[in-house]
Homo-oligomer: A and B are copies of this chain.
Amino acid sequence: MITQKEITLQGYSRGYHLITSLITSHLGELPDRGLLHVHVKHTSAGITLNENADPSVRADFETFLDDLIPENYSGFTHTLEGLDDMPAHLKASIIGQTITVPITNGMLNLGTWQGIYFCEFRNRGGSRRLVLTVYS
């Protein structure tokens, strides 16, 4: 069985945001066993799993990845949409735009320290659409 829902995220600033409980709040009762697939319908935002406790991890994600993929990289030719655009495209493919998470006993079967990060790579990304698909 498959259930599917499209949701909108509003007002996330550039950076890495913990959205595990936001995601689960949009899902009804979860099946006993299954998988949750989350898809970000954009090419300059991403989604990943990482540490759900200390916010310094998310801050360090921002610092390090901005340094790894700098806005002033001289080789970029796709610059018309702003200096933050091409780095955002690269981050989206390096971090990923989808995740799949197991569901066990009616709950997301994440590790103790795992949470879902929504990654806004643009300065002003605006509202973002996500597709949630539950398989059981």
Supposing A2-B33, A93-B50, A109-B41 touch, asked if A86 and B57 sit within 8 A by C-beta, the answer is yes
Copies in the complex: 3
Give the distance to chain B from A99, nearest Cβ to Cβ, in Å: 7
Which residues 53-91 of A sit at the B interface, judged by CB distance below 8 A? 54, 56-57, 59-61, 63-65, 67-69, 73, 75-78, 86, 89-90
Which residues 86-136 of A sit at the B interface, judged by CB distance below 8 A? 86, 89-90, 92-102, 104, 109-114, 117, 129, 131, 133, 135-136
Instruction: Count residues of chain A with CB under 8 A from any CB of chain B.
Output: 61
A20 within 8 A of B: no
Which chain B residues border A98 with CB–CB below 8 Å? 49, 99-101
